[in-house]
Amino acid sequence: MGNLVTTYWNQGQLEEAEVLEVLVMETMKRVIGHEHPQSLTSIANLASTYRDQGRWKEAEELDVLVMETMKRVLGEEHPDLLTSMSNLTMTFANQGRLKEAERLQILVMETRKQVLGEEHPDSLLSMGNLAYIYRSQGRLKEAEDLEDLLMQTRKLHEEHSGSLTSTDNEG
Check pLDDT > 50 for residue 146: yes
Q: What is the mean pLDDT of the chain?
A: 90
In the predicted model, is pLDDT for residue 94 greater than 50?
yes
The whole-number average pLDDT for the span 25-51 is: 93
CATH code: domain 1-74 is 1.25.40.10
Note the pLDDT of residue 166: 36
Element of type H or E holding 72: helix 56-74
pLDDT score of 155: 83
pLDDT at 171 over 50: no
CA dist list (Å): 91 to 14, 79, 107, 149: 17, 19, 16, 25
Kind plus residue range of the DSSP H or E element containing 74: helix 56-74
Instruction: Give residue limits of the domains in the chain.
Output: 1-74, 99-161
Among 90, 89, 84, residue whose Cα is nearest residue 70: 84
**pLDDT at residue number 72:** 96
User: What is the percent of the chain with per-residue pLDDT over 90, rounded to a whole number?
Assistant: 78
Output the pLDDT for position 161. Answer: 64
pLDDT of 62 strictly over 50: yes
Q: pLDDT over 70 for what percent of the chain?
A: 92
Q: Give residue 110's pLDDT.
A: 97
Mean pLDDT of all residues in 54-60:
96
The predicted-structure confidence for 154-168, as pLDDT tens digits, reads as follows: 887 777 665 444 334
> When comparing pLDDT for 12 and 60, which is higher?
60
The string of DSSP letters for 104-157 reads HHHHHHHHHHHHH-TTSHHHHHHHHHHHHHHHHTT-HHHHHHHHHHHHHHHHHH
Cut 0.75: pTM above it: yes
Q: What's the confidence (pLDDT) of residue 141?
A: 98
